Amino acid sequence: MNDQQLLRYSRHILVDEIGIEGQEKLLASHALIIGAGGLGSPAALYLASAGIGTLSIADGDTVELSNLQRQILHTEARIGQTKTTSAQAALSILNPECRVLPLPRLAGAALNEAVAKADIVLDCSDNFTTRYALNRVCVSFQKPLVSGAAIKLSGQLFVMDPRQPDAPCYACLYPEDSSDEELRCATTGILAPLTGVIGCMQAVEAIKLMAGFGTPASGLQRYDALSGQWSKSKVRKDPNCKVCTK
């Protein structure tokens, strides 16, 4: 690290669990964020400010006025721009050293390629189709996945590390053939800072994994904004999972 980097990241370096070695790992890391909305916004801001070397952000939507209540990467001046272009503009101001790669909505071979290039993936999407596809690709390429979700007044966090032999995947938690109802912010609403809580937790877990300190959050972590309480449920690897059990 040069003198400017030592100063910029000095508060990280002072943390014994991170230090210079951990910060250098962050600077050399590549994170992929799927979704530049309510969850992706705080996650991207904190990963960029923390010194992630390369940050790929994939999203196919444009900025709308209704996004601005919670999607803090974006501004009214950038309404109509693609969310990834808006994200790149915001993050370049925050930390010009962070290399931001805007990507369109990913599927198929493009998703495989993006995951293969990344060290870690953050699922900040808002639908099961994307989550299931992303889970499959992360299992295939043995990439850690930090998944977040938030709706109304509740949020959840799930960390998967397929490099660990007994680690459950997202499909162990929510089987692909399940009938779970899918809720959308556009029709059910959401408390604005709730996405900040979950998105920031995703950034924390991603940084821990990339810098190599601490223990990843285990099980399914749930946050109830109405009561201010966190709860945790154990998640075990499903021996019949069609995705991660071979």
Per-residue pLDDT of 212-223, as tens digits, reads 999 999 999 999
In contact, 70 and 158? CB cutoff 8 Å: no
Give 52-106 pLDDT, tens digit per residue: 999 999 999 999 999 999 999 999 999 999 999 999 999 999 999 999 999 999 9
Cα(95)–Cα(93) distance, integer angstroms? 6
Domain ranges (residues) in the chain: 3-233
DSSP state of 77: G
**What residue ranges in 111-245 does DSSP mark as E strands?**
120-123, 145-151, 154-160, 220-224, 229-233
Cα(34)–Cα(135) distance, integer angstroms? 12
Q: Looking at residue 185, what is its pLDDT?
A: 59
Cα(56)–Cα(204) distance, integer angstroms? 17
In contact, 37 and 124? CB cutoff 8 Å: yes
Alpha carbon 120 to chain centroid distance? 9
DSSP state of 65: G
Q: Looking at residue 181, what is its pLDDT?
A: 56
Cα(198)–Cα(96) distance, integer angstroms? 25
Q: Looking at residue 129, what is its pLDDT?
A: 92
Cα(240)–Cα(171) distance, integer angstroms? 10
pTM for the full predicted model:
0.95
> What tokens were used for 187?
């029709």
Q: Considering 98, 138, 172, 185, which one is annotated as catalytic?
A: 185
Low-confidence residues in the chain, pLDDT < 70: 178-187
DSSP state of 11: H
Q: Looking at residue 177, what is its pLDDT?
A: 80
Tell me whether residue 244 is one of the annotated catalytic residues.
Answer: no
Q: Looking at residue 51, what is its pLDDT?
A: 97
Question: CB under 8 Å to 23, separation ≥6 — which residues?
Answer: 1, 5, 9, 12, 13, 51, 211
Q: Looking at residue 183, what is its pLDDT?
A: 57
In contact, 211 and 26? CB cutoff 8 Å: yes
Q: Looking at residue 228, what is its pLDDT?
A: 96
**What residue ranges in the chain does DSSP mark as E strands?**
30-34, 54-58, 99-103, 120-123, 145-151, 154-160, 220-224, 229-233
In contact, 158 and 131? CB cutoff 8 Å: no
CATH 3.40.50.720 fits 3-233, yes or no: yes
